[in-house]
A and B are shown apart, each in its own frame.
Chain A
């Protein structure tokens, strides 16, 4: 329990979002660190922000954080997730590279996930023939997103996928993959031409309709990748926010007799929601990977 005099309003959005969003520090119990914050080591404090902070504060519609070379919690967590992948999969690769079966629970579990992505995601969406070329990309995407999602369930850590910068970048990497593979397969012009479905139109109508449809389809292509980013972001942020709000009830009732009723209920609810979050972590990693594979498949086989 925190000292009520020391705590801010537990339902203050800044406070709630502070637990979900990126920061240059980790939030830990106040007994462990001064003000409950462990600062992330910084490259350089002397770097001047590239984007003027005052300008950004003056324009609230601008959702950009400054480019200031700050090293944040989510960056560290991304690196940890990447290191987990390296530590898990390189030894597994060593074991099964010669065609011998995976031995042990851990190796088998990892392999089940790998084979699931291959057989249930990549091959049905991209096609048996081309799928295996995209497996490295899809496997990295799935496990990276999954790793970031799952780190959000670790105490005092956070989900790097709860920041738009992360999910948007991953979605744009998928978008780049779609563009490159699509243009490599159908030719640079062919790829853009394939965006417009083939229609039997009179010439006069075609002059107007086809450019319009092209613009719409182009917007659609962009939007479906942006939505890919927003879906993952919304799921991770919402899940963690709900947990934060729920736990804030304990804080709110801390100096009240209702605490003894509220705390157990909230704790049970938060436990159930954490289990749901565990499921969502896997589900969203799967959906992100599945849709990436689907977009790549569409780029390769336009019809």
Chain B
């Protein structure tokens, strides 16, 4: 049973009724013998007045006070519940946004680090490349110069050898063409020498 107490009270009420009924004459006697006041006196006028006043109050307040108060309280409860729901939603939204931006921020830091790293790598790489290029170029230039010097030297040597050969041939021809007196001989040698000297004035 839902309400054992009130049920028990209900069972006990017949006993209470009989007690009340038995005690009623006693109260009556008391008022009869001692002519004392009656605390259970029932004034019908007051009862009617009570009923009218109470029901009238109920009707007036029901229309002008209780109904507006009930709706007002309900409205306020609803508004508070709505506000709480809105606030909770906003808080949830804010939490999400914060997490999102924190994630983004952490990502940005990583990105910056990667960019710097890459830039450094690029710079190092470029520097190395420049040095390498310069080195290669310098080597190439050096080699080219060496080659040119070699070439010039070879050309000069060839020229020398050619001219010497020509001289020798000329000299030999001249010797062969003439019978040479000792005088002539000396003269020949001298002219050859002059010629040689003239041909190579400074190249000794």
Instruction: Name A's B-contacting residues (CB within 8 A).
Output: 13-14, 17-18, 21-22, 50-51, 60-61, 63-72, 74-75, 78-79, 82, 85-86, 89-90, 92-94, 96-101, 114-115, 118, 132, 135-137, 139-141, 144, 160, 163-166, 168-170, 173, 216-217, 219-220, 223-224, 226-227, 233, 237, 294, 298, 303
Select B68's contact among A71, A94, A163, beta carbons within 8 Å. Answer: A94
Chain B residues within 8 Å of A163, by CB? 41, 43, 46
Q: Can you show 12 pairs from A to B with CB atoms below 8 A apart?
A: A14-B37, A21-B41, A61-B25, A65-B46, A72-B46, A99-B72, A100-B76, A165-B46, A165-B47, A169-B51, A223-B20, A298-B3
Q: Does B53 belong to the interface (CB within 8 Å)?
A: yes
Query: What's the least CB distance linking B48 to chain A, in Å?
Result: 8
Query: What's the least CB distance linking A193 to chain B, in Å?
Result: 16
Query: What's the least CB distance linking B101 to chain A, in Å?
Result: 37
Select B66's contact among A60, A75, A140, A219, beta carbons within 8 Å. Answer: A140
Q: Contact: A82 with B38, CB < 8 Å?
A: no
What's the Cα separation between A71 and B56 when bound, in Å? 18
**Contacts A93-B68, A166-B50 hold; do A220 and B10 have CB atoms under 8 A apart?**
yes
What's the Cα separation between A269 and B33 when bound, in Å? 33
**Contacts A92-B65, A96-B69, A99-B79 hold; do A60 and B28 have CB atoms under 8 A apart?**
yes
User: B11-19, B113-121, B170-178, B188-196: which lies at the A interface?
Assistant: B11-19
Chain A residues within 8 Å of B61, by CB? 85-86, 89-90, 136, 139-140
Query: What's the least CB distance linking A10 to chain B, in Å?
Result: 15
Chain B residues within 8 Å of A50, by CB? 44
What's the Cα separation between A257 and B36 when bound, in Å? 31
What's the Cα separation between A8 and B111 when bound, in Å? 105
Query: What's the least CB distance linking A11 to chain B, in Å?
Result: 12
What's the Cα separation between A218 and B64 when bound, in Å? 37
4 tightest A-B CB contacts, nearest first: A99-B75, A61-B28, A97-B68, A60-B32
Interface centre among A160, A169, A217, A227 (most CB of B within 10 A): A169
Select A223's contact among B2, B6, B16, beta carbons within 8 Å. Answer: B16
Q: Contact: B49 with A224, CB < 8 Å?
A: no
Q: Does B67 belong to the interface (CB within 8 Å)?
A: yes
Interface centre among B14, B66, B79 (most CB of A within 10 A): B66
Which applies to chain A's interface (DSSP): helix, strand, loop or mixed?
Answer: helix
Q: Contact: B57 with A82, CB < 8 Å?
A: yes
Chain A minimum-CB-distance residue to B10: A220
Q: Does B109 belong to the interface (CB within 8 Å)?
A: no
Q: Contact: A67 with B44, CB < 8 Å?
A: yes
Query: What's the least CB distance linking A255 to chain B, in Å?
Result: 26
Select A140's contact among B24, B45, B62, B73, beta carbons within 8 Å. Answer: B62
Chain A residues within 8 Å of B3, by CB? 298
What's the Cα separation between A226 and B20 when bound, in Å? 11
Q: Contact: A97 with B72, CB < 8 Å?
A: yes
Q: Does B183 belong to the interface (CB within 8 Å)?
A: no
Q: Contact: B55 with A219, CB < 8 Å?
A: no
Query: What's the least CB distance linking A54 to chain B, in Å?
Result: 15
Chain A residues within 8 Å of B200, by CB? none
Q: Does B70 belong to the interface (CB within 8 Å)?
A: yes
Chain B minimum-CB-distance residue to A302: B2
Q: Contact: B54 with A170, CB < 8 Å?
A: yes
Please give 16 more A-B residue pairs, beta carbons under 8 A apart, in addition to A90-B65, A98-B75. A51-B44, A65-B41, A72-B46, A75-B45, A75-B49, A78-B54, A86-B60, A89-B69, A90-B64, A93-B67, A93-B68, A93-B72, A96-B73, A141-B54, A216-B14, A223-B14
What's the Cα separation between A82 and B64 when bound, in Å? 14
Chain B minimum-CB-distance residue to A16: B37
Q: Contact: A70 with B71, CB < 8 Å?
A: no
What's the Cα separation between A65 and B74 when bound, in Å? 46
Q: Contact: A17 with B37, CB < 8 Å?
A: yes
What's the Cα separation between A303 and B9 when bound, in Å? 15
Q: Contact: B60 with A64, CB < 8 Å?
A: no
What's the Cα separation between A74 and B9 when bound, in Å? 32
Query: What's the least CB distance linking B90 to chain A, in Å?
Result: 21
Query: What's the least CB distance linking A53 to chain B, in Å?
Result: 13
Q: Contact: B57 with A144, CB < 8 Å?
A: yes
What's the Cα separation between A223 and B55 when bound, in Å? 23
Chain B residues within 8 Å of A78, by CB? 49-50, 53-54
What's the Cα separation between A60 and B32 when bound, in Å? 6
Chain B residues within 8 Å of A164, by CB? 39-42
